[in-house]
């Protein structure tokens, strides 16, 4: 077990290097450095352009990609103060990135805690009596809700509850010009985006949980537990739910990436200043210095959570022995 974890941990930096290199190449190909810089700064002098390219290590040609990557990497690991500055106005990259990360973590955290806990409860209740009215409603509901893309539900919720009824603000974290911290105001702004994300999480996890629990319920150890004379409640919770959680926990770790992706849409609709909006802005401007740290964070979190998923599966399921 320990050897498995150590081996995977040793592979992690290597994979990270490789994937970030690929990302670097893709970004450099996708957003032509010189053109995007000139588009953002139409009156930049020749020296300015040269300086920008030199600072970011954006050399031309194939050899330039490798050299550029290592130069970028060296600057990157030295810390945020050494990161290249954004193409527009030479602003520091780190403060807005950190701000957006905290905003996204708040939105994602609340939405996933709400969504997962409700989803798991609904799934458990639905699997308790397959074919009952509750099961049918939950199943059909999850089926329909799962088919509604976030931008449709987001736009509709926004139009109905913010524009027409005016119960909630249209978007943002605070109204424009607001200073300081105000919990109530923040919650008011969070309600709609959290609902959009949470509803999708509920739809997904209630189906996972239901399928997983039904699978466990038909296994031998549940029959044994019943034969021992345990109450149905004990059978369901002590033996059923706990074992049904194993695949769900793995999916959970794997879904972190998709959650971040889904948040981009919600954030864009509600103009919520999170990582999604940050990424969209940076990609529209072709701002390579802003794009790279964002993508590195995404790559790292995806790989780390992938590892956690593998390890958690091995840790949680006693049947798996890895050497």
Partner 1 sequence: MADTAIPEGLLGADPDLNDVEALNVRVLTPFQMAWRRYWHHKGAAIATIIMTMLLIIVIFAPLTARYGINEQVLKIQEGNNVYLSPRSIAWMGTDEIGRDIYSRLIWGVRTSLFIGVTSAILSVIIGTTVGAIAGLRGGVFDDLMMRVTDIFLAFPFLVLVIVVRAALGNLPWLTAIIGDISSIRFLIVLFAIFGWMGVARLVRGQVLSLKEREFIEASRAVGASNTRIVLSHLLPNSIGPILVALTLSVAGSIIGESTLSFFGLGPQPGTNSTSLGLLVELSSSGAKQGNWWLVAFPCGALVLLVVCINFIGDGLRDAVDAKLDTGK
User: Interface residues with partner 1 (CB under 8 A)?
Assistant: 15, 19, 23, 25-27, 29-32, 143-144, 146-149, 151-152, 155-156, 159, 163-164, 254, 257-262, 264-265, 268-269, 279-280, 283, 295, 298, 302-303, 305-306
Question: Which is closer to partner 1, CB of 208 or CB of 305?
Answer: 305
Helices H, strands E: what count in the chain? 14, 0
Question: Which is closer to partner 1, CB of 163 or CB of 227?
Answer: 163
**Beta carbon of residue 281, minimum distance to partner 1 (angstroms, whole number):** 11
Question: Which is closer to partner 1, CB of 29 or CB of 179?
Answer: 29
Question: Which is closer to partner 1, CB of 113 or CB of 156?
Answer: 156
Question: Which is closer to partner 1, CB of 93 or CB of 295?
Answer: 295
**Beta carbon of residue 60, minimum distance to partner 1 (angstroms, whole number):** 14
The angle that helices 94-128 and 256-269 make with each other, rounded to 10 degrees, is 110
Question: Which is closer to partner 1, CB of 12 or CB of 110?
Answer: 12
With contact defined as beta carbons under 8 Å apart, do 129 and 136 qualify? no
Q: Residue 291's closest CA among 26, 68, 42?
A: 26
**Beta carbon of residue 229, minimum distance to partner 1 (angstroms, whole number):** 26
**Beta carbon of residue 315, minimum distance to partner 1 (angstroms, whole number):** 19
**Beta carbon of residue 143, minimum distance to partner 1 (angstroms, whole number):** 7
Who's near 127: CB < 8 A, 6+ residues apart?
135, 209, 210, 213, 214, 217, 244
The Cα-based distances of 131 to 126, 136, 169 in angstroms read 8, 6, 41
- Buried residues in 281-297 as b, exposed as e (16+ CB within 10 A): bbbebbbbbbbbbbbbe
Rounded-to-integer distance, Cα 210 and Cα 205, Å = 8
**Beta carbon of residue 301, minimum distance to partner 1 (angstroms, whole number):** 10
């Amino acid at each position: 077990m320990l050897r498995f974890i150590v081996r995977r941990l040793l592979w992690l930096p290597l994979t990270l290097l490789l994937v970030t290199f690929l990302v670097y190449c893709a970004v450099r190909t996708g957003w032509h450095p010189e053109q995007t810089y000139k588009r953002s700064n139409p009156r930049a002098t020749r020296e300015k352009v040269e300086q920008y390219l030199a600072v970011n290590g954006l050399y031309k040609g194939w050899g330039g990609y490798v050299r550029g990557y290592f130069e970028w990497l060296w600057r990157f690991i030295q810390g945020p103060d050494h990161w290249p500055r954004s193409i527009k106005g030479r602003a520091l990259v780190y403060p807005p990135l950190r701000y957006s990360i905290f905003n996204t973590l708040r939105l994602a955290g609340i939405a996933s805690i709400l969504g997962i806990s409700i989803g798991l409860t609904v799934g458990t209740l639905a699997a308790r009596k397959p074919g009952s009215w509750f099961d049918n409603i939950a199943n059909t509901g999850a089926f329909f809700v799962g088919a509604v893309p976030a931008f449709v539900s987001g736009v509709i919720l926004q139009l109905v509850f913010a524009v027409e009824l005016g119960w909630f603000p249209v978007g943002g974290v605070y109204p424009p010009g607001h200073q300081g911290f105000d919990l109530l105001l923040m919650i008011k702004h969070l309600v709609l985006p959290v609902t959009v994300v949470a509803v999708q999480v509920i739809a997904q996890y209630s189906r996972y949980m239901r399928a997983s629990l039904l699978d466990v319920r038909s296994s031998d150890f549940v029959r044994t537990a019943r034969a021992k004379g345990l109450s149905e409640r004990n059978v369901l919770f002590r033996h059923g739910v706990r074992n049904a959680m194993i695949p769900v926990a793995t999916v959970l770790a794997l879904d972190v990436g998709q959650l971040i992706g889904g948040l981009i849409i919600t954030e864009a609709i509600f103009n919520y200043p999170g990582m999604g909006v940050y990424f969209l802005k940076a990609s529209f401007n072709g701002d390579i210095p802003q794009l790279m740290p964002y993508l590195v964070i995404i790559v790292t979190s995806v790989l780390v959570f992938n590892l956690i998923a593998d390890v958690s599966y091995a840790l949680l399921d006693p049947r798996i022995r890895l050497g």
